[in-house]
Chains A and B, each alone.
Chain A
Amino acid sequence: MIEKKLIEKVIDKALSNGADFAEIFVEDTYNSRINFYNNKTKQNIVGKDFGAGVRVFYGTTAIYAYTNDLSEKSLLAAADAVSKAAKGKSIIQPIDLTKKEFENIHPIQIPNNTVSKSDKIDFIRKINEASRNYNKLIAQVDINILEKMQKVLIANSEGLWAEDSRTYSRVSIRSIASDGKEKQTGGENPGGHAGYEFFNKLNPVELGEKTARMAVTMLKADYAPSGKLPVVIDNSFGGVIFHEACGHALETTSVAKGASVFAGKLGKQIANPVVTAIDDGTIPNEWGSENIDDEGMTTKKTVLIKNGVLKSYMVDKMGSIKTGYERTGSGRRQSYKFAPTSRMRNTFIASGKSKFEDLIASVDYGIYAKKMGGGSVMPGTGNFNFAVGEGYIIRNGKIAEPVRGATLIGNGAEAIMKISMVADNLAMAQGMCDSISGNIPTNVGQPAIKIDEIIVGGRK
């Protein structure tokens, strides 16, 4: 992408005021989006993201500059700017760059740019028709195909020189049901670190029907009750609560500041013993997987919690310097416009031994959250708030009528102690996680879990 000689010059320049470490990240990304709405292809956009970021460390201070002018003059100016932002004790000599070799564990079978737009639109049309055919209450279907091919080059003063290419394919579907008075939505957003073959493996009719069923069910649902109740959260996107309320607090970005409730808890029981949680970047072609992270380290499988005991945090390079924990290949960023920091990959609660039916049967009166919506968590306190996308009442151990408008409110550290049952039906779902190093693809996941007591905010 740029010549080795120029990379070396930039690193030299960046170190010239005594920095401890210097790194360059170069990116050339092709983005494509097809937007389909109201039975028509509405908007098509493609484009090129292109630029480089230079980062230096002075102790625990990180300095970052980026530009999208990759001329020698501009890159050296960026390196000069970061070098001058602080002053170090001595000028270190960079180690000669050696090309990093690694196995590509996410092979791409069909490059997305070899498939015609009309094939992609045909695929979208099948989803659209299936959703509309499912029920005449479906008033609108909004479908987007997102494709991204990101080429990266990462080199640093420790001799690292790594290049990788990452392809992402995703379709996002939102069906809207309306009875003329009110509207409810149902959505699915499958994606992979994969080429066009990812779409070929999906069943467009099932996807359309699934989103339509959810929207129609919620349209007919009554409001959810309020109060402290037991809740069964089903597999797949249900893992978003663990991601938001616990995952972020296990990133060294939060741990190093002491802002995490899990800081200093390694080896301690932080969750119910039925809980084992993993963050794994090595699962072939999964949405949150990588070969190398955005600091050039080979990605890993990291066991975060084993039988309720905290085993590891997610650690990037600066996080490692600040906390002393070993890096876990977790340094990630959205693009050259962001300095990397510790982030999640495919993060999930591992399968347990219970059966889904047993979880439901154990509840006299509570909520079954079949599909979670989005949510947020207050950093520092771990207090969270999540919408239930598709919910039902559990009555006398059986799933009963659907309810809408429910939110689950609690505290991450408290909620994982209250997970009393974990089913054996692990599944994952794709999301975009937004944090200080930008918006990145991550998987959330879990089997069905039972939380003994959580605040349900409803309207009744």
Chain B
Amino acid sequence: MYEKEFNFIFDFAKDKADDIEILLSANNSFSVRINKQEIESFNYADAKGIGVRVIKDGKVGYSYTEQFEEATFKNIVNEALENAKYTEDSEIVILENHPSIDTKLNVYSEELDKVDVIKKIKFSKNLEKIALETDKRVFNVPYALMGNSTTYSKIANSKGLDKEEKYNAAYAYVVSLTQEKDDKRVGLEFVIGRDFSKFDAKKMAEKSVEKSTSLLGGECIESGSYSVVFNNEMMATMLATFSGIFSAKAVQEGKSLLKGKLNETIANNIVTIIDDALHPDGLASRSFDSEGYPSQTNILIENGTLKTFLQNTQTARKDGVNSTGNGSRTYKGTLEIAHSNFFLKPGTCKEEELLGQHDKTIEIVALQGMHSGANTISGDFSLSGEGFLYENGTRKHSLKQFTVSGNILKLLQDVEIIADNFKFNMSSIGAASVLVKELAISG
């Protein structure tokens, strides 16, 4: 697909740029949101864009367009060349052809693209209806929605690279608000996958309500140091917040606290963190990255030791290593680094064992303030949390809003047990519940 557009740009750039890379993304998506059993919003999207990265005299320039006309294609090549003139980066940028992976990844489901719209509307209505019927303390279901999206991406460069892939996914999301006296709580449940027949509205709605009601009537917690269990979703949230520290670009630019720590023990020896773009259950799986580099499985922390950073070809050249296949670029953006399916390897214990390990343990089931109360350069965090107090493995009561503070590296060193209840979140970051020896809690 899009051969005509690519050939036109290659031809036009041939005598002007030393090298050129063209990236295209075309997306079709649908979403429906329900409120009071009526369709609140219903969206269709059909959008595409094309972005170029040109090399001239070893310097890089970028440009993009969403208007597919020959005059605009000429414009973006010229503008990218103009941009390259002002780039002062001394690092040499080289475009290459890259091999392909041997296997065919299962990242597209034809069935999913055929699911009837009526079915999707009914599913979303059920999310809201069941949530409202589940418990009389539910006073509002502000979000009950589902959507699906299919993306075709193509990348080619003047060194002969030419790759394409199509992938899709569906998601659903329900939020229940419950109230008891003056206490209001939120419960959120999501699902993401390629098999819509496995989406269970009843299970999701009930879970969102249960998540919310279980927190009602919380008591204050006395400030101090406690052992803490992050449930699987919240451990994934913690990983998501600090995932950027593994980027080689962040390290090279002095923005990561992991700088200089390669091959050092930075976490407890039960901690293994992996980025796997080939993961069979991961929705971020893809055969190649945004530079066309073949996907691979990367062990970032192995039994507590920092083994590698995430690299694109540019940062890898600077570090004298190979790319890890984590080049990331949208047609509107510049070359960066991003994780794919990024996760903490699960353990074998049941979550209950984690909660019963100490006399007093706080289980954290909701966190807020991830983009404000977490400093990705120092590793310090101070977040608002919700959860429960456990005494000798028995849930005593839910807690009023509290803050949990610490440092991510200290946290990884203080991991005592990792459970087996592994789950990926909406951003393809996964974890099981984790017991941390101690963290500062203030009520």
Q: Does A378 make an interface contact (CB < 8 A)?
A: yes
Q: Which residues between 414 and 460 of chain A lie within 8 Å of chain B, taking CB atoms? A: 455, 457-459
Q: Which B residues, 27 to 74, have Cβ-Cβ distances below 8 Å to chain A?
A: 35, 38-49, 51, 60-68, 72
The answer to whether B51 and A118 have CB atoms under 8 Å apart is no
Give the distance in Å from the alpha carbon of A68 to the alpha carbon of B185 in the complex.
Answer: 41
Q: What per-residue 1/0 map shows which CB atoms of B335-377 lie under 8 Å from chain A?
A: 0000000000000000000000000000000001111110101
Residues from chain A with a CB closer than 8 A to the CB of B68 are 68-69
4 closest A-B pairs by CB? A457-B403, A385-B369, A44-B83, A47-B64
When distances are taken between beta carbons in the complex, the residues of chain B under 8 Å from A385 are: 368-369, 372-373, 383-384, 403
Are A374 and B378 in contact, CB atoms less than 8 angstroms apart? no
**Bound-complex Cα distance A81 to B71 (A):** 30
> Are B87 and A42 in contact, with the CB atoms below 8 A?
yes
Is B321's CB within 8 Å of the partner chain A? no
**Chain B: minimal CB distance from A248 (Å):** 12
**Beyond known contacts A44-B87, A45-B334, A226-B440: 13 more, CB 8 A cutoff:** A34-B86, A40-B88, A46-B83, A47-B62, A48-B64, A51-B47, A61-B41, A68-B46, A226-B403, A407-B369, A455-B403, A457-B373, A457-B405
Using known A-B contacts A65-B44, A69-B68, A405-B382, determine if residue A42 contacts B89 with beta carbons closer than 8 Å.
yes
Q: Closest A residue to B34 by CB, please name it.
A: A61
Q: Name the one of A41, A61, A68, A458 contacting B49, with C-beta atoms under 8 angstroms.
A: A68
Point out the residue from A41, A86, A381, A455 that lies within 8 Å of B186, measured CB to CB.
A381
Given contacts A40-B88, A68-B47, A259-B140, contact A405 B83 (CB under 8 A): no
Contact A258-B378, Cβ < 8 Å, known A40-B88, A48-B67, A376-B371: no
A455 to B373, CA, bound (A): 14
Please determine whether B89 and A40 come into contact, CB atoms closer than 8 angstroms: yes
User: Which of these binds chain B: A89-97, A175-183, A206-214?
Assistant: A175-183
Which A residues lie within 8 Å of B83 (CB)?
44-46, 117
Contacting residues, chain A, for B84 (C-beta < 8 A): 44
B202 sits at the interface (CB 8 A): no
A86 touches B373 (CB 8 A): no
Q: Report yes or no: A459 in contact with B405, Cβ–Cβ below 8 A.
A: yes
Given contacts A40-B88, A183-B378, A374-B372, whether A61 and B38 have CB atoms under 8 Å apart is yes
- Mask: chain A, 33-63; 1 = CB below 8 Å from B; 0 = not: 0110110111111111111000000011111
- In this complex, the interface size class of chain B, counting residues with CB under 8 Å from chain A, is 35 or more
CA distance A183 to B90 in the complex (A): 26
A337 touches B47 (CB 8 A): yes
A458 touches B442 (CB 8 A): yes
Decide yes or no: A68 and B67 within 8 Å by CB, A51-B47, A61-B40, A407-B384 being known contacts.
yes
A64 contact from B41, B64, B383, B440, Cβ within 8 A: B41
Q: How far apart are the CA atoms of A63 and B61 in the complex, in Å?
A: 39
Q: Is the CB of B372 within 8 A of A386?
A: yes
Q: Could you tell me the dominant secondary structure of chain A's interface residues? A: strand
Residues in A with CB closer than 8 Å to B35 are 257
Q: A43 to B62, Cβ gap below 8 A?
A: yes
Q: Which chain A residue lies CB-closest to B177?
A: A380
User: Which chain B residue has the least Cβ–Cβ distance from A62?
Assistant: B41
A242 part of interface (Cβ distance < 8 Å): no
Query: With A and B bound together, what is the CA distance between A41 and B84 in angstroms?
Result: 10
Contact with B along A132-161 (1 / 0, CB 8 A): 000000011000000000000000000000
B40, A409: Cβ atoms closer than 8 Å: no
- Verify B140–A380 contact, CB threshold 8 A: yes
A-B contact pairs, 29 of them (CB 8 A): A28-B67, A38-B253, A40-B88, A42-B88, A42-B89, A44-B61, A45-B63, A45-B334, A48-B65, A49-B332, A61-B42, A64-B44, A65-B45, A82-B44, A140-B253, A140-B254, A176-B255, A178-B254, A226-B440, A259-B177, A339-B41, A339-B43, A375-B373, A376-B368, A376-B372, A379-B186, A385-B372, A387-B369, A407-B384
How many angstroms between the C-alpha atoms of A384 and B186 in the bound complex?
Answer: 13
Question: Which residue from A47, A59, A405 sits with its C-beta under 8 Å from B38?
Answer: A59
Find out whether the CB atom of A41 lies under 8 angstroms from the CB atom of B177.
no
A interface residue numbers (CB < 8 A to B): 28, 31, 34-35, 37-38, 40-51, 59-70, 74, 78, 81-82, 85-86, 117-118, 121, 139-140, 176, 178, 182-185, 226-227, 254, 257-259, 337, 339, 373-376, 378-381, 383-387, 404-407, 409, 455, 457-459
Distance to closest chain A CB from B40 (angstroms): 7
The residues of A that contact B87 with a CB separation of less than 8 Å are: 41-44
Those of B209-255 within 8 Å (CB) of chain A: 223, 253-255
Q: Which residues of A contact B62 (CB under 8 A)?
A: 43-47
Interface residues in B83-132 by Cβ distance below 8 A to A read: 83-84, 86-90
Please name all residues of chain B whose beta carbon is closer than 8 Å to the beta carbon of A66 when the two chains form the complex. Answer: 44-47
Measured in the bound complex, the distance between the Cα atoms of B50 and A68 in whole Å is 12
Residues A407 and B41 in contact in the complex (CB < 8 Å), given A117-B86, A385-B383: no
Per-residue interface assignment for chain B, residues 383 to 409, with 1 indicating a CB less than 8 Å from any chain A CB and 0 otherwise: 110000000000000000101011000
Is B333 interfacial (CB-CB < 8 Å)? yes
Q: Which residue of B lies closest to A374 (CB)?
A: B372
Q: Hey, which chain B residues are within 8 Å of A178, CB to CB? A: 254
- Shortest CB–CB separation between residue B359 and chain A, in angstroms? 22
Most buried by B among A62, A69, A183: A183
Is the CB of B184 closer than 8 A to any CB of chain A? yes
What residues of B have a CB within 8 angstroms of the CB of A49 in the complex?
66, 332
Once the chains are docked, how many angstroms separate the CA of A378 from the CA of B385?
Answer: 11
Hey, which chain B residues are within 8 Å of A118, CB to CB?
A: 86
Measured CB to CB, the nearest residue on chain B to A341 is: B41
* A contact residues around B47 at 8 Å (CB): 51, 66-68, 337
Chain A hits for B332, CB < 8 A:
31, 45, 47, 49
The distance in angstroms between the C-alpha atoms of A35 and B335, with both chains bound, is 12
Least Cβ–Cβ distance between B310 and chain A, in angstroms: 19
- Decide if A60 touches B38 in the complex (CB within 8 Å): yes
Q: Would you call B156 an interface residue if the criterion is a C-beta within 8 Å of the partner chain's C-beta atoms?
A: no
Q: What is the CA–CA distance of A178 and B440 in the complex, to the nearest angstrom?
A: 25
A378 to chain B, nearest CB (A): 6
- In the bound complex, residues from chain B placing their C-beta under 8 Å from that of A70 are 67
A42 to chain B, nearest CB (A): 5
Contact assessment for A405 and B49 in the assembled complex, using a CB-CB cutoff below 8 Å: no
- B140-A258 in contact (CB<8A): yes
Residue ID in chain B nearest A59 by CB atoms? B38
Given A51-B47, A257-B35, are A85 and B42 also a contact pair (CB < 8 Å)? yes
